[in-house]
A and B are shown apart, each in its own frame.
Chain A
Amino acid sequence: MRYILHSDLNNFYASCECLYNPSIRNKAVVVVGDAEKRHGIVLAKNYIAKKYNIKTGDTIYEARNKCEGELVCVKADFEKYLRISHMVKDIYKEYSDQMESFGIDEAWIDISHRAKNFDEAYAIADEIRLRVFDEIGLTVSVGVSFNKVFAKLASDLKKPNAVTVITDKNFKDIIWPLPVSDLLYVGHATAEKLLKFNINTIGDLAKCDTGLLKSILGKNGLMIQSFARGEDSSPVHSIYDKEDIKSIGNSVTLPHDLEKLDEILATFTTLAHSVSKRMSDHHFRCKGIAISVKDKDLNTAEHHTRLVRPTNSVSELTHAAYDLFCHNYPSFPPIRALGLRACDLVPDSDPVQYSLFTDMDKIIKLQKLDSVVNSIRDKFGPQSIYHADTRTCDISDATPDDEKHSIHPVGYRRDRS
């Protein structure tokens, strides 16, 4: 039996604002996208605002009309929410490495290694609830169950500041009478379809004829039915899951065969940009690189090298790749395709040992340059800014394969929030 918690911070944004400004704690508070604009929209509200039937998505104007007393509108401060979310998740992590975020204010925690039965699981859930309240000042609703879907459902049953347990013995009594739309992944459209076939509750879904369900919803129908039956076996991902990425690479097939060294250099620069960006997106540096070389007769070879220190810098990757190429090809046939792969990845939070005589100013300058280029590319696309080298050599239309369709990374399962 697995014991899985789903912890959900109550009214997260609004609670954060009240935490930082206690003077608004006892007033109706809404967090809005843009408070200056009358048509700004309510993103979150506290319980007092909820009492006035203010809803997420209301305009500020509508919200003010519903509210009888003073309505406090606070502009959303996502950086603050993210910071607080990290503090809360640090507490979760003390209980398990298997801690998977679901958005900024929710997470699953697998405590199977700590709990032998539901009583013990409840005790741990309650301890977490108390600690988050005590140390951070926020309330959470925690669901305890034997799979992720039911744990999430359980956390919705009692709010705020509560723990709800759904066991393998009582789930039919507690969950099956609930409307089918309460189930994770049953959206509005799916619920509507099910309604037409008189499938109203989660129990109806669980007991529904499998063939019929498949004809209504396809494979998806079978999935949600297994959820309803408590057969969800999906794991809670580990906080170390990022290590699933073995390497980050990219390759490019050139519009014309390359015969000159400066074209080779330019191509590696283009590749290094995209590899570097993805490494920093995923918070990695690499300790080694590999290049792949395909000539016009389609002979392919790969060459590896270790780097003097872990890096994700564009210029360091470029030069390592270029040196590796020159070392292996004193002379070379016309080149059809080139690839660059960063291997032996380490988290970019690991300290890097520079030699005493390293020009740190230069390294820091280059890092800044990389991050500026990356943010420009994020905003305006990969072609918005590029190395001048890559222009002169007319490989400008040689967008790395990855930016059109993803070929690597190997074994990467999913993005984590």
Chain B
Amino acid sequence: MTRKEYVDVIAFFDTQGKLNPIKIRLSDGSSHMIDKILEVKKCPDLILGGIGTRYSVRIGSNNIHLYLQDGRWYIHTACAL
């Protein structure tokens, strides 16, 4: 099972008006710097629903998807049934 885990995000708008997330904080309190934004794509979240923007980012050695939907950020988190 997967669910949406909403996260705190620090982001900045660049001079082109683009929004760049730079750091996220998970619900367990841990913070993670985003090392690189690999891809930004407008798309639906076909797994958990909704439409928004998907940021593919690298945090350390992990590539993860960070979703921005209706003004809130979340990631997919595995959870027990």
A: residues with CB less than 8 A from B are 19-22, 84, 87, 134-137
B15-23, B39-47, B59-67, B72-80: which one contacts chain A? Answer: B39-47
List the B residue with the shortest CB-CB distance to A21. Answer: B49
List the A residue with the shortest CB-CB distance to B42. Answer: A135
Contacts of A21 on B, CB cut-off 8 Å? 49
Q: Is the CB of A137 within 8 A of B47?
A: no
With A and B bound together, what is the CA distance between A200 and B51 in angstroms?
44
Contacts of B42 on A, CB cut-off 8 Å? 135
Q: Is the CB of B43 within 8 A of A135?
A: yes
Q: Is the CB of A19 within 8 A of B50?
A: yes
- Would you call B48 an interface residue if the criterion is a C-beta within 8 Å of the partner chain's C-beta atoms? yes
Given A22-B47, A134-B43, 11 further pairs, Cβ under 8 A: A19-B50, A20-B50, A22-B46, A22-B48, A87-B51, A135-B42, A135-B44, A136-B51, A137-B43, A137-B46, A137-B51
With A and B bound together, what is the CA distance between A137 and B43 in angstroms?
7
What distance in Å separates the Cβ of A131 from its nearest Cβ neighbour in chain B?
Answer: 9
With A and B bound together, what is the CA distance between A136 and B41 in angstroms?
11
With A and B bound together, what is the CA distance between A260 and B62 in angstroms?
78
Q: 25 A-B pairs, CB-CB below 8 angstroms?
A: A19-B44, A19-B49, A19-B50, A19-B51, A20-B49, A20-B50, A21-B49, A22-B46, A22-B47, A22-B48, A22-B49, A84-B51, A87-B51, A134-B43, A135-B41, A135-B42, A135-B43, A135-B44, A135-B51, A136-B44, A136-B51, A137-B43, A137-B44, A137-B46, A137-B51
Chain B 32-58 interface mask (CB, 8 Å, partner A; 1/0): 000000000111101111110000000
B: residues with CB less than 8 A from A are 41-44, 46-51
With A and B bound together, what is the CA distance between A84 and B48 in angstroms?
17
With A and B bound together, what is the CA distance between A240 and B48 in angstroms?
37
With A and B bound together, what is the CA distance between A21 and B50 in angstroms?
8
With A and B bound together, what is the CA distance between A137 and B44 in angstroms?
5
With A and B bound together, what is the CA distance between A51 and B41 in angstroms?
34
With A and B bound together, what is the CA distance between A21 and B48 in angstroms?
7
What distance in Å separates the Cβ of A80 from its nearest Cβ neighbour in chain B?
Answer: 10
Contacts of B48 on A, CB cut-off 8 Å? 22
List the A residue with the shortest CB-CB distance to B70. Answer: A83
With A and B bound together, what is the CA distance between A140 and B49 in angstroms?
19
Q: Max chain A CB contacts within 10 Å: which of B41, B48, B50, B51? A: B51
List the A residue with the shortest CB-CB distance to B50. Answer: A20
List the B residue with the shortest CB-CB distance to A137. Answer: B44
Contacts of A22 on B, CB cut-off 8 Å? 46-49
With A and B bound together, what is the CA distance between A380 and B79 in angstroms?
51
What distance in Å separates the Cβ of B48 from its nearest Cβ neighbour in chain A?
Answer: 7
With A and B bound together, what is the CA distance between A22 and B47 in angstroms?
6
Contacts of A87 on B, CB cut-off 8 Å? 51
What distance in Å separates the Cβ of B22 from its nearest Cβ neighbour in chain A?
Answer: 25
Contacts of B49 on A, CB cut-off 8 Å? 19-22
What distance in Å separates the Cβ of B67 from its nearest Cβ neighbour in chain A?
Answer: 13
What distance in Å separates the Cβ of A199 from its nearest Cβ neighbour in chain B?
Answer: 45
With A and B bound together, what is the CA distance between A84 and B69 in angstroms?
12
With A and B bound together, what is the CA distance between A136 and B48 in angstroms?
14
What distance in Å separates the Cβ of A129 from its nearest Cβ neighbour in chain B?
Answer: 15
What distance in Å separates the Cβ of A396 from its nearest Cβ neighbour in chain B?
Answer: 46
Contacts of B51 on A, CB cut-off 8 Å? 19, 84, 87, 135-137
List the B residue with the shortest CB-CB distance to A20. Answer: B49
Q: Max chain A CB contacts within 10 Å: which of B41, B42, B48? A: B42
What distance in Å separates the Cβ of A15 from its nearest Cβ neighbour in chain B?
Answer: 11
With A and B bound together, what is the CA distance between A87 and B47 in angstroms?
20
Contacts of A19 on B, CB cut-off 8 Å? 44, 49-51
With A and B bound together, what is the CA distance between A175 and B49 in angstroms?
39
With A and B bound together, what is the CA distance between A5 and B52 in angstroms?
26
List the B residue with the shortest CB-CB distance to A133. Answer: B44
With A and B bound together, what is the CA distance between A19 and B69 in angstroms?
13
With A and B bound together, what is the CA distance between A135 and B44 in angstroms?
6
With A and B bound together, what is the CA distance between A136 and B51 in angstroms?
6
List the B residue with the shortest CB-CB distance to A18. Answer: B49
List the A residue with the shortest CB-CB distance to B53. Answer: A135
With A and B bound together, what is the CA distance between A157 and B8 in angstroms?
47
Contacts of B41 on A, CB cut-off 8 Å? 135
Contacts of B43 on A, CB cut-off 8 Å? 134-135, 137
